[in-house]
Structure 1
Amino acid sequence: MNSILIIDDDPHILNLVKVTLKDAGYQTHKAIHGIEALSILEKYVIDLAIVDVMMPKMDGYTLTRKIKNTYDIPVILLTARGELHDKEHGYTAGTDDYIVKPFEPKELIFRIQAVLRRYDKPSTYIINLGDVKIDKRNYEVQIGKQHLLMPLKEFELLALLASRPNKVFNRDYLIESIWGIDFQGDERTVNVHIKRIRERLREVTSTIEIVTVRGVGYKLEVTSE
């Protein structure tokens, strides 16, 4: 499930976009200005940002440049300014698409899907960390010449952590991403799965390690290359 950050100082637009995205099956985070958006990007894994141009504290063009320079995620500018020079400014800042208000909610979803498809490159299916290779196409973990068999949820959890080494994932995010929003369990489910993954990895490699961040969640560290 993709996670999308919406940044807009207009509460009506913010809530409209949030409802539209949730109905389409996306996870959402909201921010009313660029400073808050950057704070969220430091804490959560975000797959795409929707950025308003005219905002207090930091305009959308500046925020877009910061996002593109720091995080490898697509940006869609959502703005009332539709003149050619405004679009030029947006694309120069690095935006992947540009939508002018007012907009049709369905069009926003189509644009998001198109942008995410462009970022869904074959290379993203393979994660290489030292001697560990994680292939998300066939749910396979390979350490050197050895293949590690893992239950589906354990594999998905490991692949998610490995997708952003050193990034701290909080337990709620892990539950929503792997088990879904409607999951009735609690964080003990994550803890048990992490324990099992650690046990499996410990037997075959010392290249990667899942570290507990007290009171927050987990991160995967590469201990050697």
Structure 2
Amino acid sequence: MHILLIEDEPKSGDYLRRGLTESGFVVDWVQSGVDGLHNARTQEYQLVILDVMLPGMDGWEVLRALRRTHDTPVLFLTARDEVEDRVKGLELGADDYLVKPFAFTELLARLRTILRRGPGRESDVVTYADVRLDAVRRKVTRAGQRIDLTAREFALLHMLIRRPGEVLSRSQIASQVWDMNFDSDTNVVDVAVRRLRAKIDDGFEAKLLHTVWGMGYVFEDRR
């Protein structure tokens, strides 16, 4: 598998290149956004690992330009850890978003998950039952009625609607939506789910966001 690594920090770049090479990947490493975009457009890669903060041309610009011509899978690997940054990366067309510092084993797992999906990228528009989520326009509707969500609520729904029928634990949700380890004394996930449920389910006959006691939550049409 041929991977393009776009990372300007020498220590991080060298660490990633060595680790990925030892894991069986062929890695091209460049240290600027301009060089990264040129390589991504002129050579064939199975996947691009992209930092956000790059000299000359940042990662947002690189991905925006790349998506005009190429569907190469892209994983953002960056210290930018705000929910708004992760949502922006996904909206621009990234296939995944991993925050530094990270465990190398998790990076490998995410890379392999993306590569198993094949060459096509996940659609920007996801539908389930009568809910439609447009990741590019950040627009959600149910039965044609617009639902206004905060950035965290949008990220939470995006995670749930892509995995319908799958029970997601509080720790899974916390790690992917808030990028934090779940503390059993913290009810941040429960509060966010409650607010999302009020917007998505209240006023509609069919309820989609369910609590699975002792396990977590599931997005599922049970009619």
Matches of 1:84 and 1:28, distance apart in 2: 29
Q: Alpha-carbon deviation of 1:92?
A: 1.2
- Equivalent residue number for residue 72 of structure 1: 71
Matches of 1:68 and 1:19, distance apart in 2: 28
Matches of 2:67 and 2:100, distance apart in 1: 23
- Equivalent residue number for residue 59 of structure 1: 58
Letter in 1 for 2:118: Y
**In 2, are the aligned partners of 1:68 and 1:74 still within 8 Å (CA)?**
no
Letter in 2 for 1:27: V
Q: Alpha-carbon deviation of 1:83?
A: 1.0
C-alpha root-mean-square deviation of aligned residues, in Å?
1.3
Q: Any gaps of 5 or more consecutive residues in structure 1?
A: 122-225
Matches of 1:117 and 1:61, distance apart in 2: 25
Q: Alpha-carbon deviation of 1:69?
A: 2.1
Matches of 1:63 and 1:42, distance apart in 2: 11
- List structure 1 segments (4+ residues) > 6 angstroms apart after TM superposition: none
- Equivalent residue number for residue 20 of structure 2: 21
Matches of 2:37 and 2:81, distance apart in 1: 25
- Decide whether aligned partners of structure 1 residues 116 and 92 sit closer, same or farther in structure 2, where only a CA change above 3 A counts: same
Letter in 2 for 1:74: P
TM-score using structure 2 length: 0.51
Q: Alpha-carbon deviation of 1:120?
A: 5.2
Matches of 2:68 and 2:27, distance apart in 1: 22
Deviations 1:100-147 (A, max 9, x none): 0001111111000000111257xxxxxxxxxxxxxxxxxxxxxxxxxx
Matches of 1:38 and 1:89, distance apart in 2: 19
Matches of 1:89 and 1:38, distance apart in 2: 19
- Decide whether aligned partners of structure 1 residues 60 and 120 sit closer, same or farther in structure 2, where only a CA change above 3 A counts: closer
Aligned residues: 120
- Equivalent residue number for residue 110 of structure 2: 111
Deviations 1:61-82 (A, max 9, x none): 1111222222221000001111
- Equivalent residue number for residue 48 of structure 1: 47
Asked whether 1:37 is paired with 2:36, we answer yes
Q: Alpha-carbon deviation of 1:22?
A: 0.5
**In 2, are the aligned partners of 1:5 and 1:49 still within 8 Å (CA)?**
yes
Secondary structure class of the residue paired with 1:87? helix
Q: Alpha-carbon deviation of 1:29?
A: 0.3
Matches of 1:80 and 1:16, distance apart in 2: 16
TM-score using structure 1 length: 0.51
Aligned ranges for residues 198-217 of structure 1 at < 5 Å? Answer: none
Q: Any gaps of 5 or more consecutive residues in structure 2?
A: 121-223
- Equivalent residue number for residue 83 of structure 1: 82
Identity across the alignment (%): 37
Secondary structure class of the residue paired with 1:69? coil
Letter in 2 for 1:25: G
Secondary structure class of the residue paired with 1:46? coil
Letter in 2 for 1:75: V
**In 1, are the aligned partners of 2:76 and 2:89 still within 8 Å (CA)?**
yes
Which structure has the highest helix share of the two? 1
Matches of 1:16 and 1:64, distance apart in 2: 23
